[in-house]
Amino acid sequence: MTETGSHYSELYAAYAAGTLDPGFALLVETQGALRRDVRDAVAISEAAAGVFLEAEEGVPMAAGALDRVFAAIDAAGTADISRADAATTEINEIERLPEPVAKLAREAHARSGWKRPARGISRLDLNIGSDAQVELYRIQPGAAVPRHTHGAKEYTLVLAGGYSDATGSYGPGDLAVKGPEDTHLPVGDEGEVCYALIIHGGLRLTGAMGIVQRLLGL
């Protein structure tokens, strides 16, 4: 699924209202950075939310609330990100990813580093307090994510490069949605390394890798 439309209207409305899960809010913000049509759809939802907000009856702010907000903004703007390994290829690639994924990826890289689940595949847990698993995948050209199904819906947003599976090819800004009934084997396209933001409820490997996964209780 690569297009936007009424299917995503509830997602954008929840984002505009500030009620969207952090993982999906990240997805909306990042896809908006890559695609003009998504930015326009979100802007319409925010305008509609603003109309409803204006109609709401105001409530008094807690004492010192505004000062605390400004202090939090100042702290966020001066966060110290370690640059000890800024010269590595992966860090340089991360720097070219759209915000806010790039910032979260830098922090996750410094905190826990990449996991290597398969040859040519790297996975970075962004750990942003979502109810779902929110991960950044790095897929080298020709490398394959092991064939798998899903415990719940999987949302894959391509940030750079591209990948292909039996359903088609996906490039920057494309969003693929898979359900528990889907089994697929994503393979990195030739050329640029593929980076993808993936939100899911757990991958279930199939074949021999699935047996290993079950034996290890992964």
- Scan for tokens 């994924």, then name that residue: 101
| Per-residue pLDDT tens digits for 11-48 | 788 888 888 899 999 999 999 999 999 988 888 866 75
Domains of the chain listed by start with CATH number: 89-216 (2.60.120.10)
How is residue 169 written in tokens? 């090819």
Considering only 7-11, 84-88, 140-144, 160-164, which range has the smallest mean pLDDT? Answer: 84-88
Residues ≥6 apart with Cβ < 8 Å to 155: 24, 27, 175, 176, 177, 198, 199, 200
Q: Could you tell me the pLDDT band of residue 7, with boundaries at 50, 70 and 90?
A: very low
Residues ≥6 apart with Cβ < 8 Å to 210: 148, 204
- 158 touches 192 (CB < 8 A): no
Count of alpha carbons within 13 Å of 34, Cβ hemisphere only?
Answer: 27
Whether the model clears a pTM of 0.95, i.e. scores above it, the answer is no
Q: What single-letter DSSP state applies at residue 152? A: S
The neighbour count for residue 34, using CB atoms within 10 Å, is 18
| Per-residue pLDDT tens digits for 79-121 | 343 334 433 688 899 999 998 899 999 999 999 989 998 899 9
Confidence (pLDDT) at 205 = 43
Name the packing angle between helices 101-111 and 22-34 (round to 10°). 130
CA distances for 115 relative to 125, 135, 183, 214, angstroms: 8, 11, 23, 19
Instruction: Please tell me whether residue 46 adopts helix, strand or coil conformation.
Output: helix
What are the φ/ψ torsions at residue 131 (nearest 5 degrees)? Answer: -70, -20
What is the rounded distance in angstroms from the CA atom of residue 130 to the CA atom of residue 110? 20
The sign one gets for the Cα dihedral 36, 37, 42, 47 is positive
Residue 161 burial (10 A CB sphere; 0-12, 13-18, 19+): buried
| Cα 162 from chain centre | 15
**77-81, 155-159, 174-178 — which one is most confidently predicted on average?**
155-159
| Per-residue pLDDT tens digits for 185-209 | 999 999 999 999 999 875 444 443 3
